[in-house]
Amino acid sequence: MDIFGDSEEEDNNPFSGTNHLYASGIAAVKDGEDDFISKGLLNDEPPLGSDTVNQRNIKNGDQEDDNQDSEISAKEGEEQGLPISHEEQVQQQGEEEREEKLGTNISDTTTQYEPYVSLTMSMANNVNHNTSLEADKEIHVIEAGEYRDPWGKRAIGYSIKYQSQEVVRRYSEFDTLRQALIRLLPTVVIPPIPSKHPLIKYFLSPLSAENDSKIIEKRKRMFSSFLNNCIKVPEIKDHIVFKKFLDPEYTWKNVLSSPPIVILPVNNLLAPPLNPTKPSPLHLLLPGPVSISRLDSSAHSGTYLQVETQFAHLEAFFKKSKGVYQPLHRIIRQHRSHFHNLSSVFAELGAYYNAFSLEDNVIANARSILQIKSLSNGIEKIGHGFDVNYVSSEVLVDNLLSLFEEPLGEILQFLDDAERILQFRKLKQMQYQIIEHTISKRETRIRNLQEAQTQLKRLENVLQKNAQESPTIAEAVKRIENSMHEEVTPQRQISMDQPNSQLLERNPQGHDQANDKGRTSSSSIFTGMPHSKLRRTRKTSSVELEPHQLTETERQDEIQKIRKELEKLEECFKLVSRDIEEVNESSLDSLQRLTRHIDDKWDFMLKNFTKSIINWLSECLKAWKNARSIVNAIES
């Protein structure tokens, strides 16, 4: 009696669903059978190495054991001169599957082991390490279904097999992997994953393995394509985060909460493009533009003309391709729907003709039975022809989805990610131009301050020289210098904020001569305001003032401050120039790899879909030829 028959909880049997001796439970094993003791060992059977045992083991293996890993293990044992019995193969297989289930989080969380800590399959003793290179290069999503994660939650899990290891990952884990790769590799095109289940549809009808098998099968195909596209990209394949995703010994939740993901910067522009987890202090000083609206495409951005031309051609190619593929993808989706409707019509016609062929037998009599039987066979063959059309059309619809519509949608997602790469490069160029413009602006400010200082000193020398020759000018200069050291009352401050008309009225001659010769170097002479008040009122706005409106001390302070800024700006400029070179090299390599991938994908799509069309036509033609031969043989 199965006491767990009505239970909705998961079975804790680690051998469930396998060919193991205990797959149906311990109670189902007959008396005398033991997984760890050979079947005849207690019954005085011949030794393990005898020919009789070997022959019986081989025979049992041919009849009962279809597991590929057991066959490989037996072959390895025979090559080494060590006969392996069927029971030992089953034992090894059971141990592997027990370890694998514990490692891939499929087992119940109430077990005594940690569900994500186990020996990997590569560490097992009976793993065949001589597998072909082609098999190791491919990643397969072998199955999908409901499973329970280490925290007791049920979800749809996708079992991934790569290099003799299996690991179960959820859709959300695939999504977070891709988002992490985008932040870790901002200059690399990241392969796409299937789109998310609509949120409203998810609340109304949650995704289940029984009711949404088509969606799950589609995700299996696209996840397999995503992973295989990732291992074709060296930057992704060799990245530690991607390796941990394929390793059953790591839980993804722990990976997301550990380096390098947790130390990623908020903005990739403020970090090295090829290694964003190790930013230098200067990267934190860089500007972080969010738009390229002010990008001057004609200005120099630290890139050679040849490289700019290559990027321009790639951008034009991607834009043109996207404009062609989007309507094509929509048309293919419509054609698939039309073919599906057509196959439904074929199925209906086949059912009608088959039913009609049976009705003729009802009205048959002894004299016309041969003629009616021949007629019924002809009608039945016509119905069979429609049935073949229906089945072949359904196969064609599935091939149209998996060989044309899905790959084309994948290409469109690739093109969207290529736009992200180009956008990041333009933002980096914008960063370069901002720093270059800032350096130019600060250098211009220093030149203006120095020129103003030189001019004012020359004017001061001229005034002092004239003051020695003219007592009036000397008296005016002396009076102004004395007024700068007097205590300023509130009323006098207000009057001194205005133009020094009273001063000029008292010294009209001095004013005329001063206008003829120029102005003095002291800014208080031209504003009627002492130095102390200037420092207080213009401390925050000295950069916005004209150089001649500043005092000599303020000009010197500003020059020193700008020179320190320029030192940092020059270092930042060198850093951004180096970053742009790295971005150009990495982005160009990734985008060119994408163009080759698109060409190869189209070659694969057209060849395989052409084969599907030919097979569809061949099957339909064969069925209708048979129907015509039967119809032509009907006796008139």
What DSSP line would sit under 17-73, residue for residue?
TSSSTTTT-GGGSPTT--SSS-TTGGGTPPPTTSHHHHHHHHHHHHHH---HHHHHH
146 and 250 fall within a common domain: yes
Q: Report which secondary-structure segment, H or E, holds 278.
A: none
Residue at which a domain ends, from 235, 264, 293: 264
296 and 409 fall within a common domain: yes
User: Of 96-105, 144-153, 364-373, 477-486, which gets the smallest average pLDDT?
Assistant: 96-105
Percent of the chain's residues with pLDDT above 90 = 46
State both tokens at 599: 């060409």
pLDDT bracket for residue 536 (50, 70, 90): very low
How many CB atoms neighbour CB 99 within 10 A?
Answer: 19
Q: Compute the distance between CA of residue 397 and CA of residue 418 in angstroms, rounded to an integer.
A: 30
pLDDT bracket for residue 472 (50, 70, 90): confident
326 and 297 fall within a common domain: yes
Residue at which a domain ends, from 264, 289, 312: 264
pLDDT bracket for residue 488 (50, 70, 90): very low
322, 402, 555, 557, 604 from 325: Cα distances, Å: 5, 16, 62, 61, 16
256 and 204 fall within a common domain: yes
State both tokens at 161: 């097999």
Residue 627: Cβ-neighbour burial (10 angstroms; 0-12, 13-18, 19+): buried
User: Average pLDDT for residues 103-120, to the nearest whole number?
Assistant: 36
How many CB atoms neighbour CB 432 within 10 A?
Answer: 24
Q: How many helices (H) and strands (E) does the chain have?
A: 20, 3
Instruction: State the Rg of the chain over Cα.
Output: 42
Of 511 and 479, the one with more pLDDT: 479
Residue at which a domain ends, from 232, 264, 296: 264
User: According to the model, what pLDDT value does residue 162 have?
Assistant: 93
275 and 424 fall within a common domain: yes
CB 20 within 8 A of CB 66: no
Q: Compute the distance between CA of residue 65 and CA of residue 560 in angstroms, rounded to an integer.
A: 85
| Omega before residue 260 within 30° of 0, cis | yes
Q: Compute the distance between CA of residue 133 and CA of residue 112 in angstroms, rounded to an integer.
A: 37
115, 210, 547 from 110: Cα distances, Å: 9, 25, 78
User: Of 62-71, 137-146, 248-257, which gets the smallest average pLDDT?
Assistant: 62-71
CB 286 within 8 A of CB 431: yes
250: nearest Cα among 141, 156, 137, 120: 120
pLDDT bracket for residue 132 (50, 70, 90): very low
pLDDT bracket for residue 183 (50, 70, 90): very high
User: According to the model, what pLDDT value does residue 636 have?
Assistant: 58
* Sign of the torsion angle spanned by Cα atoms 57, 62, 68, 72: positive
Residue-range definition of the domain harbouring residue 114? 1-127
Answer whether residue 611 shows pLDDT above 90: yes
Percent of the chain's residues with pLDDT above 70 = 62
Residue 446 lies in a domain: no
End-to-end CA distance of the chain: 64
What global pTM score does this model have? Answer: 0.66
Dihedrals φ, ψ of 378, to 5°? -65, -45
pLDDT bracket for residue 97 (50, 70, 90): very low
Which residues 6+ apart lie within 8 Å of 415 measured at CB? 318, 321, 322, 325
CB 273 within 8 A of CB 428: yes
Q: Compute the distance between CA of residue 524 and CA of residue 533 in angstroms, rounded to an integer.
A: 10
User: According to the model, what pLDDT value does residue 546 have?
Assistant: 84
323 and 214 fall within a common domain: no
Q: Compute the distance between CA of residue 406 and CA of residue 219 in angstroms, rounded to an integer.
A: 10
Residue 452 lies in a domain: no
User: Of 212-216, 240-244, 381-385, which gets the smallest average pLDDT?
Assistant: 212-216
68 and 107 fall within a common domain: yes
Question: How many domains in the chain?
Answer: 4
User: Average pLDDT for residues 602-623, to the nearest whole number?
Assistant: 95
305 and 348 fall within a common domain: yes
427 and 316 fall within a common domain: yes
User: According to the model, what pLDDT value does residue 418 have?
Assistant: 97
11: nearest Cα among 27, 29, 23, 28: 23
Answer whether residue 511 shows pLDDT above 50: no
3-state class of 138 per DSSP? coil
Residue with tokens 């006491």: 3
43-80 pLDDT tens trace:
444 443 444 434 444 344 444 444 444 444 444 444 44
CB 428 within 8 A of CB 289: no
User: According to the model, what pLDDT value does residue 326 have?
Assistant: 96
CB 146 within 8 A of CB 11: no
284 and 372 fall within a common domain: yes
Which residues 6+ apart lie within 8 Å of 309 measured at CB? none
How many CB atoms neighbour CB 512 within 10 A?
Answer: 11
Of 116 and 460, the one with more pLDDT: 460
**CATH number of the domain residue 227 falls in:** 3.30.1520.10
